[in-house]
Chain A
Amino acid sequence: MDSIAFLITSLPYGKEDAFRGVYLPFATVSKGVKTFVLLVGDGVCSALKNQQAKTIEYPDVSQLIQNILALGGQVFASRHSCEEMGIKEDDLINGVISASDEHITQTLIQADGSIVF
């Protein structure tokens, strides 16, 4: 496969899902697989700036997202989901792109594979 999309629908803390969901793309992007991380629903909270994960002794999900971006992965946050949660574009980690539902769907369709967390 040349491309893969990870659809993250879970909140960043409280369950392991979002953390593991943004850890796997690190493995694919570093092997040269075109990697997309799509944050939808509760998943958009993973892209918030200034997360203080140390206070709960949990890995910082926002740091993993920054690592994915630094390696050339693309991270999209659903604009629609952000609006529902009162999250503004300025609240998102630099490099995370606010995207329409249409764009997110198109990315899912075009990727060779997809995994939901």
Chain B
Amino acid sequence: MGTLTILVLNGPYSSRHPELACEIAEEALKKGHGVNMIFYMDGVHVPKKGQVPKDFKTISEALTRLLEKKGFNAVACEMSAHARGYVKGEADASGIYPTDEYVDGVKIMSIHEFGKSVKGSEKIIALNV
């Protein structure tokens, strides 16, 4: 089984892309593949805690369910997250930046994680059109 990288570039609710990304990830995990989900640009809003959309599925809940599954890894781009106010200090020794605004398990890291993920993946899907 291989690994799939999913690049999420849109924020929740204004686009269904984050929801579709979670659905694709769930199916890939069911088939035994690993999934690296990378949040970039407005995609870094997806892991925000406390979302309460009245008329849509809460995207952070779908993400939380995925984070409980083996083989799923979620990283938000530090530069994009910093620009949008999610980073709350300097990186630790593992390169993870602190935040108190994300659901547990999503790491804010340098975009070099994307490079590593591409290198270790068989396929990449970018949801941005």
Contact = CB atoms under 8 A, between A and B. Distances in A.
B116 interface: yes
Interface residues of A, number: 19
Interface in A1-46: 1, 4, 16-17, 20, 23-24, 26-33
A32 B111 CA distance: 14
Interface in A28-73: 28-33
Contacts of A95: none
A28 B122 contact: no
A1 B118 contact: yes
Interface of A: 1, 4, 16-17, 20, 23-24, 26-33, 113, 115-117
B128 A1 contact: no
Interface residues of B, number: 21
Interface in B8-24: 9
Interface of B: 7, 9, 40-41, 79-80, 111-116, 118-119, 121-124, 126, 128-129
A117 B124 contact: no
Contacts of A17: 41
A31 B126 contact: no
A33 B115 contact: yes
A31 B129 contact: no
Contacts of A117: 128
Given A4-B118, A115-B128, 14 more contacts: A1-B119, A1-B123, A23-B79, A23-B111, A27-B111, A27-B113, A28-B114, A28-B115, A28-B118, A31-B115, A31-B116, A31-B119, A32-B119, A116-B129
Contacts of B111: 23-24, 26-27
Contact of B114 (A16, A27, A116): A27
Contact of A113 (B115, B123, B128): B123
